[in-house]
Structure 1
Amino acid sequence: MIKPDWNIFKAKFSENPQNNFEWLCYLLFCEEFGKEFGIFRYKNQSGIETNPVDVDEEVIGWQAKFYETTLSDHKGELIKTLIKSKRDYSDLTKIIFYTNQEWGQSHNPENPEQNDPQAKVDIESKAKEIDIQIEWRTASFFESPFVTIKNGLIIQHFFSFEKSIVQLLSEKQTHAESILKDIQTSINFHGRKIEINRNALLERIISEIEKEQVLMLTGAGGIGKTAVIKRLYEDQNTNTPFYIFKASEFEINDVNNLFGGYSLQGFIEAHKEEEKKLVVIDSAEKLLDLENTDPFKEFVSVLIKNEWKFIFTARSNYLSDLDMQFIDQYQVKPIKFYIETLSEEELIGCSQVNNFNLPTDTRLLELLRNPFYLNEP
């Protein structure tokens, strides 16, 4: 566990603590009310940070306030927030105020039974007047088991200088995108884009990955295996954790080295609530060159045990060797999808639609059935 330390928070997010505090509270609000895909909001939303959520018979909004001074100093601002929120969301029944501060205890000799400071009394009186319930989530809330234990991964990101799982996952997503960045899914021809229709193949892959745990996408070099993965990534990554590794990255001594300062178990733990999660191993034929296969073997076995799905891409001329290694070393047998070269009819149809001439030489024509050579100037 990490105990929230606001001095660490301010040092880590010194450029804009308020914005990062809003993000922290947004994550915790979504976790509390089961909004795993987030909540709609407008830019510069009025009164509250996002649209309110319906919970049973309540309509709940929230506001995050990171203050350097006492809450009592901000009485006027908090009352204005209440008035504006009720004005713009007339059905609002509750507002949750998140803040890094605590209310100071009252010491009023005229009313010794009043523990609340007068500012808090006045704010809650205004809330009652306009029929809104206030729930205060002050500094003590961020030290609660809900935050520090149940949402410990979130807290680590905001209150530790060490690399957090949030940073790790962001790096791995960026890594996947960098692998796919230069992969072309179409051929440029005199300002026009020629795209090989792989929709039927994509639909089969998406359907099969629902039922099977390990798939192999195979075909000749340059046939477009990684281009299909790019299309799949664009289709799936918004709703599904989707990571891509080159097989050569597993030339390591310890599987945890793959996660730069974190661990495989931490990576698994971060996704334990996800129903669907997918890893692609690109150029799987490079696995045959690994001197130490133990890290990759551990990676595969742990992820499969935790219900991850795998897609491997590999050149078809390595399939027999890969089959033996997958069965003997990793105890898995992938379901195979073959990407065929273009048929002669498809190539002729493509040339007619896009108005380019085909050579008469049979061998050259055979080469052009592979999109890699078709794309050559």
Structure 2
Amino acid sequence: MIKPDWNTFKTKFSENPQYNFEWLCYLLFCKEYNQDFGIFRYKNQASIETEPIVIGNDTVGWQAKFYDVALSNKKKELLSTLEKAKKYYPTITKLIFYTNQEWGQDEGTTPKGLIEIQKKAEDLNIILDWRVASFFESEFVCIKNETISKHFFLQDCFLPKLNDISKKNKLNIKSIGKRYAPNLDKYSQLNQKNIKLEDYFNSFEIEHIVDKLKGLFDTKYHYRTSLMTLNNIPNYPDYKSSYESFRSYFGEDEDFGIKEEDILDIDILFENFKNDIIDKIELLYINDIDFFITFINKFQSYLENFLEQFNLRKTLVYNKDPRQESDTFYVELDEVQSYSRLVEDTIKKIESEEFKIFEKKSMLIIGEALIGKTHLFCDIALNRLQDEKPTVLVFANLFDKNKTIIDNIISQLGMVNINEDDFLQGLNLLSTRYSSKTLIMIDAINEKEAPEIFKENIIKLNEQIKSYPNLALAMSIRDVEVNRVKTSSNEVYLDNETIQIQHKGFEGIELEAVATFCNALGVELPKIPFHITRLFINPGILFMYIELIKDSKEKMDISIINPTKVFQAYLNDLERKFYQLYSNEIDEEDEVVIEAVRTIISLWTKEDFVSFYFDYKDVKEKLKALHKKVLEFLISEGVLNKYKNEEGTKVYFTYQKFENFLLQITY
């Protein structure tokens, strides 16, 4: 015996839960009324699911609705179902209504919505038979029709557990050390404050886009458009036709609200328009992405058409007294805000990155070293998991070039014996259970061997993600290394199919960032010359400087911030650490670390050409004379990174700004 589990049902039939619920109810209806060979129906059958059947003295029809909200919220729709059932099938005497929800009582009283619906059924001489969630737990469903029940409620495919994914993500984040510093108060808020990075990640979710659409007309605009004769307005028939055509996309037999009256209040027209459309938006399932994107495109086309017609009408001659002639068009607009500007702004919003991210389901965060890309990804992942939104965060610097991208993700999650298709399908199903897209986040696709993997497979990865309606992808890359992934063979695809967002760090809030960091680390706020505040757009540079002030053993003049001191103090700090490790082998006055980086710079610059990557063996051989351990020390401290490719083992400076400083002090 299988107990109905609606989460399992939604997960198993995530591609279209409503359609599969109708199928479940159709099978049960046919079983109950011995319709072994099925019941005739039309495509897009009006009001009920099939043609009514005659059972004794009753003409019986049925309707099935899979809801994610309470039945009380669907009162209007349920009343409409009854009215249309009687309209299209006058002989109907009984309507069976199947739903996965149940009516909720208020302190033992019958819900007002249920009373109103029952009264409407009585007025129409229809017996309304409710088959709510408890019906599906009955003996008739669970035992007598166990075969049907098993098909719809038994999970028969791989489904990862959100709790397991969450634990693994937290362990992975902990393993990256100082690249993520959650103990720094308000870091996340600062990192996202200026360019609203969090909104970009929220844009993968349909609820966020719905809220954006709801807000398009929230501002109140004070104007009235008066028309003596609507038919005399140039292009009015085209305008009316386009409006009605758009509105009819969402349903038949609608009252479209355009009346040929003396006064047309556009405020009211758009308010009604917004309310009607938003009602329908909120009914969408998470998997109805194509429909929703079509809605956005039609909405934009509608606005563009309206704007064209509106501007044409504004060009007419305005008379002082519009009532003197019946074919005169009169407009009175607020001097501050023109209506055409409102519509233009609305179109721009629909064309913004947030709507594009929702449509493309793929985003690439680009930024310089230390700007906070990894920190941002960790914050977003942890916050989403806390809100029970399925999220997978992996680090590309740990990828194995002999595995596919998806197999690398599976490995970082600690999963075994799972193929790519089952894994992605499982994540897709998990989204349905939690009513949120599963976001796959891949940090630092520029590091180590990752560029070689991604430049060959990034199109395949995007297409794999796009093939599942409930999956989305976010990646990050260092700005100077974008071209290590973007090639002539994938550039056009990436530019069109992956929304690229610049991470600008603390741009515009540099002073607030400095004050916050100083307060968090217990350091006196220094004076900041205006011309160098842009240095602290970069959170990593700022954090490094404030932390060095706090921890440095040497007395530093911090009355005025000097950007050169940031890097010099960093080198000095590394020098002290190295001496503490090998004090029995070197003198305290030896500048092993500083000489090592100067040596690397000398290898790095060749005539007029600067190479970002240099051979590990060459560097090791050159540095051996200084100290046999200094190269590994620089790698362990994060000054250098090491990776392998087909050309051999390479090393490179981790931070772009550090490279610039080293060039400055060397030459």
TM-score (norm 1): 0.41
Name the structure, 1 or 2, with higher relative contact order (CA <8 Å, separation 6+): 1
TM-score by length of 2: 0.23
